[in-house]
Structure 1
Amino acid sequence: MIFRIFDGKMSNHAIDIYFFTMSPPSRSVLLLMKTLGLKTNIKTINILNGEQFKPEFIKVNPLHTIPTINDDGFILSESNAILKYLVDQYGKDDKLFPKDNKKGAIVNQMLNFGTSTLLPRFAATHFALMMGGTVDEQDKEKLKEAFDYLNNFLKESKWLAGENMTVADIAIHSTLGNIVAAGIYDLQSYPNLWQWFERTKNALSQFGYEEIMQAGSDAFGHVFKTKVNA
């Protein structure tokens, strides 16, 4: 299978991860940690209850964002930075985040697309509905545009950033998982994107996909549908 080459440089300690299950960036980091075979100490921060503003967490991360990791005193936030650090530090090789400048730049490009384009467009269309508002048609079209981009890109490639799965696939899949669970948009109408979504799911199944990625997406879907229907 694709990840047998990644057994990690097994750390003798557990890495703290400040995590919230409904958060796509949180799930992408935790699933990567499991893929690399790392020991984890999960510290749940319920952002719906404002736990990210508690003084004890602000001492760890003054920006009060999740995910955040504490690797034996080395504290790091921002999911894209964490993903790269974990591969560089613990990956047996660099296939999940290539050291080659051009290949690595493509991974960064897709990660930045995920955090600066896909995630904000997801938030603009779904959080408004969760708060009882309406969604601007322009915001709907912008999200569909993001789906079109990914669908067209995947005409030429099985993965988002090269010939192998990378952390970009894990990160973008995580956001799309929330979108699928919410049920407003049908990703199956984007055939290349949907095939990739299922391919990624299958590749990650042996590393805790169901209990990390699927469970978190389902939790978001439940909250979303409950609030919208109310």
Structure 2
Amino acid sequence: MREYTCQIEIDLYYRTGLAHCRSVLMTAKAVYVNLNLKPIILRNGDDHLKPEFLKINPQHTIPTLVENGFALWESRAILIYLAEQYGINDTLDPNCPQIRAIINQRLYFDMGTLQQRFADYFYPKIISKEPGNPESLKKIKEAFDFLDIFLDGQNYAACKSLTIADIALFATVSTFEVCKFDITKYENVMRWYNLCKKTMPGLELNQQGLEDFKKNVTW
């Protein structure tokens, strides 16, 4: 079994329950990079607004990765960086323009559609205890319809093997599952999801994050 690349000092400012932070943890596990984890408290603590963090990331978002003075935020950009910089081969982010284009499309879909629609529907319920908006729920179902089509006839989201697109999407879909959204209605999504549970690097890190997420959620 390959050892972690321990000589590399990489800090990760994160919150374990968030899907986009969990995707970074899983990708680091896949490329055998040991992260120096720095939890950020968002509510009350406002760690992300402290001057020392703003100096690193003026946009004050998490996750934020710092390596020898190089700071990077936006989780999908971090996934690409880790895969390109530390992957032992190009399987997580294949060196083929068309496959990479599909991976990027899936990453943008995860960010701009799937995860955004999760936030639109679930965050008002979680944070403000508002009833779920039926129109927002329809948008979630539409997004899963799209994902089901993307996965038709494919084991993985972008090509024949697991990539960073799968890692990002898996983190998001697993959050839907713990929020009691019924993903079993989507045959291709379920087939892919079950396969990912068998092949996903850092699966235990995702599960730990989901447990932390559930502790902080009351309906």
TM category (shorter chain) comes to over 0.9
Alpha-carbon distance in 2 for matches of 1:164, 1:122: 26
| 3-state SS of 1:34 partner | helix
Aligned length: 217
Alignment identity in percent? Answer: 36
| Structure 1 runs of 4+ with >4 Å offset | none
Q: Which residue of 1 aligns with 2:164?
A: 167
Q: Which residue of 1 aligns with 2:108?
A: 112
RMSD (Å) for aligned C-alpha atoms: 1.7
Alpha-carbon distance in 1 for matches of 2:87, 2:195: 22
Give the Å deviation of 1:220. Answer: 1.7
Spell out the pairing of 1:48-127 with structure 2 (5 A cutoff): 48-49=43-44, 50-127=46-123
Alpha-carbon distance in 2 for matches of 1:60, 1:36: 24
Unaligned runs of 5+ in 1: none
Would the alpha carbon gap of residues 48 and 195 (structure 1) be closer, same or farther in structure 2, given more than 3 Å must change?
A: farther
Unaligned runs of 5+ in 2: none
- Is residue 147 from structure 1 mapped to residue 133 from structure 2 by the alignment? no
Give the Å deviation of 1:208. Answer: 3.1
Would the alpha carbon gap of residues 23 and 157 (structure 1) be closer, same or farther in structure 2, given more than 3 Å must change?
A: same
Give the Å deviation of 1:9. Answer: 9.2
TM-score, normalization by structure 2: 0.93
TM-score, normalization by structure 1: 0.89
Spell out the pairing of 1:6-25 with structure 2 (5 A cutoff): 10=5, 12-25=7-20
Q: Map Cα deviations across residues 147-174 of structure 1 (whole Å, 9 max, x no partner).
A: 1111122121010001111001000111
- Is residue 178 from structure 1 mapped to residue 149 from structure 2 by the alignment? no
Give the Å deviation of 1:223. Answer: 2.3
Alignment-mate amino acid for residue 81 of structure 1 = A
Alpha-carbon distance in 2 for matches of 1:46, 1:201: 29
Q: Which residue of 1 aligns with 2:210?
A: 217
Alpha-carbon distance in 2 for matches of 1:48, 1:174: 22
| 3-state SS of 2:36 partner | strand
